[in-house]
């Protein structure tokens, strides 16, 4: 986990290279969205182009168009940010 300062806000994040041959398509996007909804923190994902979206927004995740081999950054800010990042990192490693 990396603490990231954005303005005066601090958040934690991790970088991950997508290994799923299909990238982030409908099924994994739905799984990611459901997983993100279980946290109080605001969680976002940023693609290599710098585009980002809330992790709990299914359509936005799909519109990022993340493909196999591309890196993403997942960031969280809020009361359960450490737990969210730790669990989401495991989720990404197991499923993506």
Q: Could you give the percent of the chain with pLDDT greater than 90?
A: 88
Which residue range(s) make up the domain with 62?
Answer: 2-95
36-74 pLDDT, tens per residue? 999 999 999 999 999 999 999 999 999 999 999 999 999
Report if pTM > 0.85. Answer: yes
The active-site residue, picked from 4, 25, 42, 70, is 25
Domain CATH code at residue 9? 3.30.1340.10
CB 39, CB 83: distance < 8 Å:
yes
Give the chain's mean pLDDT: 91
Number of folded domains in the chain?
1
Tell me, yes or no, if 25 is annotated catalytic.
yes
32-42 pLDDT, tens per residue? 999 999 999 99
């Amino acid at each position: 986990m990396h603490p990231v300062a954005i303005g005066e806000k601090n958040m934690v994040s991790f970088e991950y290279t997508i290994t799923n041959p299909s990238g982030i398509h409908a099924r994994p996007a739905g799984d990611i969205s459901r997983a993100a909804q279980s946290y109080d923190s605001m969680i976002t994902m940023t693609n290599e182009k710098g585009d980002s979206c809330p992790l709990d927004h299914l359509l936005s995740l799909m519109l990022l168009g993340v493909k196999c081999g591309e890196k993403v950054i997942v960031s969280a800010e809020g009361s359960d940010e450490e737990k969210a990042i730790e669990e989401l990192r495991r989720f990404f490693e197991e499923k993506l």
